[in-house]
Amino acid sequence: MKTRRTTLAAQWPTALAGPGFKSPAGPESDHPPSYNELVPSGELTHLDAQGRARMVDVGDKPSTARWATARAVVSFSASTLDRIRAGDLKKGDVRAVAELAGIQAAKRTADLIPLCHPLALSHVEVRLDLQDDPPGAVLTSTVRTTGPTGVEMEALTAAAVAALTVYDMIKSVERGARISEVRLLEKHGGRSGDVVLAE
């Protein structure tokens, strides 16, 4: 059985990767690194000299304003969409519960992702937007902090858990609903600066 190797689908310019990024195809190449390429151990900040996982020490990094936005999509049938809009679901208001779940998840990210730093979040917003074509729900999260490290994982966790909550709310009427497109949209602040990813 052959194993298929997966590479980054998007052609990310070197500028988006931040200072010090070196493309495996050379300094002038826009070729994205593949997931299975070896990286020198000195560049893996979450590994110590023995190759053990560690939390990066950010104590010497300055506190700066940082924010990130992420998204997730839940796809379901038109009839389920109608029931959500009508409030005709046993578990109640899908929008309110999913948005609150996303906010709560952002605040608990360090409990879920082992090497994330606990951060004092100054703002978390999660928005559920229903769409008709194709029928589904788009969950968008924005997280802000002033600190030594970014909030990309908090934004992603908020969007993902909000999407999972939508599924939980509608599974009694549609177990075939699909969660997809959990992704970072943009991040701002920190040493790597601003990164806005294509839609």
Which are the catalytic amino acids?
A: 168
Which 3 state secondary structure label does DSSP give 101? helix
Q: Cα separation of 43 and 41, whole Å?
A: 5
CA neighbor of 99 nearest in space, from 137, 54, 49: 137
Q: Are 172 and 89 in contact (CB under 8 A)?
A: yes
- Asked if the peptide bond before residue 32 counts as cis, ω within 30 degrees of 0, the response is no
For the record, the structure tokens of 76 come out as 């379901």
For the record, the structure tokens of 181 come out as 């497109």
Determine how many CB atoms are found less than 10 A away from the CB of residue 51: 8
